[in-house]
Amino acid sequence: MTGLESVFARARTEGRAALIGYLPAGYPTLEGSQELLAAMIDGGCDIVEVGVPYSDPVMDGPTVQAASDKALRAGFRLRQLFEVVERISSHGGQAVVMTYWNPVHRYGVDAFARDLAAAGGQGIITPDLIPDEAATWMKASDEHGLHRIFLVAPSSTDQRLEMTAKASSGFIYATAVMGVTGTRDKVGAGAAELVRRTREHTSLPIGVGLGVRNGEQAAEVAGFADAVIVGSAFIQAAEADGTDGVRRLAAELAEGVRSPR
Amino acid sequence: MSEAGTVTTRRDPAAVDPPEKVDLHAPGKHDPDETGHFGPYGGRFMPEALVDALDELRDSYDKARVDPDFVDEFKRLLRDYAGRPSLLTEAPRFAQHCGGAQVWLKREDLNHTGSHKINNVLGQALLTKRMGKTRVIAETGAGQHGVATATACALLDLDCVIYMGEVDTQRQALNVARMRLLGAEVVPVKTGSRTLKDAINEALRDWVTNVDTTHYLLGTAAGPHPFPTMVRNFHKVIGAEARAQMLEKAGRLPDVVTACVGGGSNAIGIFHGFIDDPEVRLVGIEPGGHGLDSGEHGATLTEGIPGMLHGAFSYLLQDEDGQTIEAYSISAGLDYPGVGPEHSWLKDTGRAEYTAVTDDEAMHAFQLLSRTEGIIPAIESAHALAGAIKLGKELGEDGVILVNLSGRGDKDMDTAAKYFGYAS
């Protein structure tokens, strides 16, 4: 069983959803990001999603964009991603990487997969790589034992849900609303429906992201999904209160995923 | 693999098909494969949330391009609204500075709104209506595409939002006013380099949020499938007209066809008129900015490395980590770090060549055409003219060069006045 699979198995046994927290590597600095990610795990995140800062993050709202810019301005280099992942692994955490595809392509898809696996990383979430274009990644992920976490959206047709589910492993990332990342007052009503439609095509766990910011919303999403994914709210917590803020938010969300509604 | 690169078919060089008789929209051998790849380039590197909209657009366009009602309505608007066919003008006094070669100008500057951009926006705006969408968003750099889009939306009663980098809103204040007069909302984009690429990012974020009601009217032959093919086909009229006009007026095909390349829409449009004439060289001129060695340029095909940006795999200005490098050009319409995927394929197959001229070379050509022919070109198009000066010297007196004069220079007077010191 891979690290991710055992996380989901344990959560299922405990009758709860898993908690996945996102922060960009190198934000606000390389050292700082390692502390924030450690705080996230200490606070109760089951899986951390390490973002690769990128110059053109079209799926991200202003909060993640600003954090990515900060990391790049602080001098983040792609190879440092693997140090960050390694630190999480040695901290006992489970890391997946979230990255736009061009940095991986430029690094070399196979080399990236090899180095990520060596650092203990579990897989990659690919916001702008759809299975239709992923032949090289399918091969490299098989070779290096990494999970392929593709996205599904409320606009995905049943045919695409089926195709995407077949290409995925580890879990499936369901985007709750049509839009970019960022905290929202309400998680889209379409999220539960999307999870239901996706389940018809897969037995993989389904995580829901985009918009969740507090324990109450986490509890709501935990009522119909296998994982709750939180990003922008962690950046806002880090901006406001650093590691304390991140640990506190993780604890609140961890409680939320344990009280599914 | 598509046949996009097989360009060996030889036509009778004297064949003059009246442009109105040629079907520029029907599927053909220069189309990409089913998934939108020209060789390895193109494709769809896009969020899943937009795939359904791209499928819908592809299906709608595939039906429209073979529907006589759609094609006739498009042609009617080009004729009765945009003012096509655009003229072909010989430039003999300018040609004296081009090694004595003949120089012919395809006058896209004379189209309504002042550039080639109107061809594509009329086509896509008609398609928007056909898809039952009521709102259009677009990005703009120099403002030419934004003005053209705002114009088509006024004509066809569509809501219009234009994303424009904050830096560009300052460089092109007149065009901002023009778009607002036409009823469009102009949103200054303050993220990233605050230029064209960031305007595209912001438009994509809007699109993913409002895709049910909104069409993203992309302004160049780049982006995810089907945009590169669709935008190219709406601009093929440039090359089709130019080929017939050359045969009629010059009595022969040109030795070289040259056009500026930012995203590459005007170039792909004119190149396709000659793509099956293997004896005609196709030369794209990229913005060399302060010089290729300075690192401040937008010469994507000359200096870039293939990668993914804005939905397509194509040559790209990027660093070792795959981060996009900001492009620079004196021309606000050319400072784009990506390029349309078909150009990448034409480069690799050798069917087209790409080279760069600097800001100074372009501005010299800008002034020269103004003073020798009484035509003020857009600074974008001045890059193609600077290319013609070099190519003419290479070809000598027997040479014949066709330049795509993609736009007029009124919008650039502020930049030109500063550059030449006319303002004081």
> ipTM of the assembly?
0.95
Among the partner-chain residues A55, A150, A175, the one whose CB lies closest to the CB of B323 is: A55
The pLDDT assigned to B9 comes to 57
Q: Residue A38 gets which letter from DSSP?
A: H
- CB-based burial of residue B396 (10 Å sphere; 0-12 exposed, 13-18 middle, 19+ buried)? exposed
pTM for the model stands at: 0.95
SS (H, E, C) chain B: CCCCCCCCCCCCCCCCCCCCCCCCCCCCCCCCCCCCEECCEECCCCCHHHHHHHHHHHHHHHHHCCCHHHHHHHHHHHHHHHCCCCCEEECHHHHCCCCCCEEEEEEHHHCHHHECHHHHHHHHHHHHHHCCCCEEEEEECCCHHHHHHHHHHHHHCCEEEEEEEHHHHHHCHHHHHHHHHCCCEEEEECCCCCCHHHHHHHHHHHHHHHCCCEEECCCCCCCCCCHHHHHHHHHHHHHHHHHHHHHHHCCCCCCEEEEECCCCHHHHHHHCCCCCCCCCEEEEEEECCCCHHHCCCCCHHHHCEEEEECCEEEEECECCCCCECCCCCCCCCCCCCCCCHHHHHHHHHCCEEEEEECHHHHHHHHHHHHHHHCCCECHHHHHHHHHHHHHHHHHCCCCEEEEEECEECHHHHHHHHHHHCCCC
Distance CA A255, CA A82 (A): 30
pLDDT digits (tens, 9 = 90+) for B170-208: 878 889 999 999 999 999 999 887 888 899 999 999 999
The nearest alpha carbon in chain B to A134 belongs to B45
Among the partner-chain residues B50, B305, B321, the one whose CB lies closest to the CB of A78 is: B321
- Residue A12 sits at the vertex; the CA angle it makes with A7 and A17, to the nearest 5 degrees, is 80
Bond before A131 cis per omega within 30 degrees: no
The nearest alpha carbon in chain A to B324 belongs to A55
Residue A245 has pLDDT above 60, yes or no: yes
DSSP string computed for A58-126:
TT--HHHHHHHHHHHHTT--TTHHHHHHHHHHHTT-EEEEE--HHHHHHH-HHHHHHHHHHTT--EEE-
pLDDT digits (tens, 9 = 90+) for A13-41: 999 999 999 999 999 999 999 999 999 99
Which tokens in the block code for residue B115?
């550039």
Interface subset of B 322-351, CB within 8 angstroms of A: 322-324
Classify strands B159-165 and B135-140 as parallel, antiparallel or unpaired.
parallel
Which tokens in the block code for residue B23?
């079907």
Strand partners, B405: B107
B406 catalytic residue (yes or no): yes
Please tell me the distance in Å from B131's CA to the nearest CA on chain A: 16
Terminal Cα-to-Cα distance of chain B (whole angstroms) = 57
A58 touches chain B (CB under 8 A): yes
Mutant choice from A98, A133, A206 vs B, greatest count of B C-beta within 10 A? A133
pLDDT less than 70: residues of chain B: 1-10, 16-21, 424
A55 touches chain B (CB under 8 A): yes
The pLDDT assigned to B17 comes to 65
Please tell me the distance in Å from A23's CA to the nearest CA on chain B: 19
Token pair 């990255």: residue: A99
Q: Which of A42, A46, A60, A132 is catalytic?
A: A60
Q: Residue A135 gets which letter from DSSP?
A: H
B45 touches chain A (CB under 8 A): yes
Answer whether B205 sits within 8 Å of A58, measured CB to CB: yes
Residue A2 has pLDDT above 90, yes or no: no
Distance CA A82, CA A117 (A): 9
**pLDDT band at residue A187 using 50, 70 and 90 as cut-offs:** low
- Among residues B125, B331, B130, B309, which one has the least CA distance to residue B231? B125
Interface subset of B 185-244, CB within 8 angstroms of A: 191-192, 197-198, 201, 204-205, 208-212
- Among residues A222, A193, A166, which one has the least CA distance to residue A19? A222
Classify strands B135-140 and B214-216 as parallel, antiparallel or unpaired.
parallel
pLDDT mean across residues, chain A:
95
A178 contacts on B by Cβ (under 8 Å)? 49, 208-212
